[in-house]
Chains A and B, each alone.
Chain A
């Protein structure tokens, strides 16, 4: 990998983790979706940069499938299938307030980065940045799931975690047979479709899509 490509990839990785952290605190659901689209485009960009030298058609295919699936199909599916007006609403009932969430996100970023060093030492010739930022973003994705109460941001949290896993994957397993392409091409749109249907049913049954507040199922008389 040339110096220029490597530096560009470093920039992409920095933006990737910033987007993931921003998803934890962006209250408007539409804006959260937009940040997820940018995060997915950054994953695709990293795949293109890593796949340029030495050339890897697997990484180019993965980048293309990511753009089509996560930047086009998923936002479209969610907008069509989930209740209208959802995207312009601000989510006010997050489990934690913004400063605390940001602090935890930063701590998780450092923790993910530190954990990744243990893995990077085992194979220093690979893109260490992807591995470190991937692990950090995976933990921040968990935080999104923990603090967001609305259905769509929770789904975006899962998808952000998946993006993080594939950010590591494109560095450690660039010629991975089929799985990444197939998963992103078929599983992820299916996931978005099912979540959107479930969100619709929840809205119809309970008049809300704040799934994080559901707490009727408990062990007890």
Chain B
């Protein structure tokens, strides 16, 4: 039952923060709730590191190593984003009531994401995927400017459109399962019935789910909400949206991969590779021509989602480990990048790359954050993205996917130089403006804490995490 504590603390924190009198302690409540969720999530991961499954309500609420891996990523980013929000919102000088409502909404958003990996029934999973959009729209529009409202509207329309298409896919999948003589609409039930499923129905469900969830993941050409929402949302919200929300939805597609792959005529691997590579390629080119550093990191998210999908197309044990490693690396690195971008925004007051020059001379915290973030997200050694991308390329070569490895390498190199070109132009030169504000202490602390996994996990994986990655990869490949 302890696994229910993880989303419950987020829900309780949301309810508490919605009470008008709680405004002053709202940030503390959020940080404490996220810390509790993180501690319990670590315990859950250690418990499931050798491949066990915990079932609270069999067929409805069940979690295995793959789910536990996602839970810990969500809980980790939830904690760091809560800590960053503390100082970030204080800088913006909103009323206490608005701040407490932000925290209520923020916790609800975290609650909806934390539920996804704990559920095993696909219908419920869809409901919580839709809730992640509904509960984050008002966070995207938090600044209440015309641009923020526009971004929130685009985000809502595109992702809800995707959710509506996905629900038809879910219904179609249920029908397919039913026609195959089963009613167990869970991950394991679907995998067992997959070889008996009808091709026409399964292919329709696959296309609907790929398009529907693809809009939420930000796969090209359904990615257009991502840069808009990320340029306007507060940085800690961007960390949640980019670092884990997209991954949480991609997790659903990854879990369904082998159900669809049971029908060899569907060519799931080819679909994943093509859609993934197009996303990586388009995102790499968009990174080069970005003018706003928050949009730059949003395009990098599109790139990373494409890399993960491409890695999942390899269908080998090492490819599956690399897929999940990349998901982990993306979550810790992208959230760090958005904290660094938030710190730069606090210092300079602008998101425009051309307007930021000489950041090194203005703020050590913001410039160090952007430098580490840029290098890490681009895949420079020895940071965490580097070994995961190398593992993906190795898996592709071992599976004789030479074209895939070459194309992926080219796009990754373009994206790396694109990111570093923009970041170095912001860091160097003569400071073009006055320092608007200093980075608050809680934001600096968050950057320090969030940098630890980015720097350490590339050279050393703790035994528990390494075991969990292997166990999760086995679940993915089963």
Contact = CB atoms under 8 A, between A and B. Distances in A.
A165 B168 contact: yes
B138 A178 contact: no
B380 to A, nearest CB: 25
Contacts of A205: 144-146, 149
Interface string A146-179: 0000010010001001100110110011001111
A132 B126 CA distance: 23
A162 B292 CA distance: 35
Interface stretch (B29-37, B215-223, B283-291): B283-291
Contacts of A173: 171, 174-175, 178
Nearest to A134: B168
Nearest to A218: B228
Contacts of A215: 150
Contacts of B168: 134, 138, 165, 168-169
Interface string B156-195: 1100110011011011101100110000010000000000
A183 interface: yes
Nearest to B291: A221
**Majority SS at the chain B contact face:** helix
Contacts of B72: none
Contacts of A190: 131, 134
Interface residues of A, number: 47
A123 B179 contact: yes
B164 A161 contact: yes
A217 interface: yes
Interface string A87-113: 000000000000000000000000000
Given A118-B200, A122-B198, A158 B157 contact: yes
Contact of B130 (A168, A183, A198, A220): A183
Interface string B140-152: 0100111101111
Q: How large is the interface on B (under 10, 10 to 19, 20 to 34, 35 or more residues)?
A: 35 or more
A211 B146 CA distance: 11
Interface in A52-84: none
Majority secondary structure of chain A interface residues (helix, strand, loop or mixed):
helix
Contacts of B232: 217
B286 A194 contact: no
B404 to A, nearest CB: 28
Given A145-B161, A187-B127, A216 B153 contact: no
A216 B146 contact: yes
Contacts of B149: 198, 201-202, 205-206, 214
Contacts of A154: 157
A211 B127 contact: no
Contacts of B174: 172-173, 176
Contacts of B144: 201, 205
A1 interface: no
B475 interface: no
Contacts of A145: 157, 161
A116 to B, nearest CB: 9
B127 A183 contact: yes
B121 interface: yes
A31 interface: no
A142 B165 CA distance: 10
A38 interface: no
B266 to A, nearest CB: 14
B124 interface: yes
Contacts of A169: 167-168, 171
Contacts of A198: 137-138, 141, 149, 152-153, 156
Nearest to A126: B175
A216 B130 CA distance: 27
Nearest to A115: B204
Q: Which of A168, A177, A179, A191 has the most CB of B within 10 A?
A: A179
B200 A121 contact: yes
A179 B174 CA distance: 11
A202 B147 CA distance: 10
A22 interface: no
B154 interface: yes
A195 interface: yes
A101 B152 CA distance: 27
Contacts of A141: 164
A197 interface: yes
A179 B125 CA distance: 9
A178 B144 CA distance: 36
A178 B123 contact: yes
Q: Counting chain B CB atoms within 10 Å of each CB, which of A134, A165, A183, A216 scores highest?
A: A165
B178 A219 contact: no
Contacts of B141: 198, 201
Contacts of B178: 173
A15 interface: no
B90 interface: no
A8 interface: no
A18 interface: no
Nearest to B59: A177
B227 interface: yes
A165 B154 contact: no
B333 interface: no
B228 A217 contact: yes
A122 to B, nearest CB: 4
A178 B124 contact: yes
Contacts of A220: 291
B156 A216 contact: no
| Most A-side CB within 10 Å, residue of B149, B151, B161 | B149
B181 to A, nearest CB: 13
Nearest to B151: A217
Contacts of A142: 161
Nearest to B299: A219
Contacts of A179: 123-124, 126-127, 167, 170-171
A158 B127 CA distance: 16
A134 B204 CA distance: 14
28 contacts: A119-B200, A123-B201, A138-B168, A145-B157, A158-B157, A165-B164, A165-B171, A166-B167, A168-B171, A168-B172, A173-B171, A177-B185, A179-B126, A183-B127, A183-B167, A198-B137, A198-B138, A198-B153, A201-B144, A201-B149, A202-B153, A211-B150, A211-B153, A214-B154, A217-B228, A217-B232, A219-B291, A221-B352
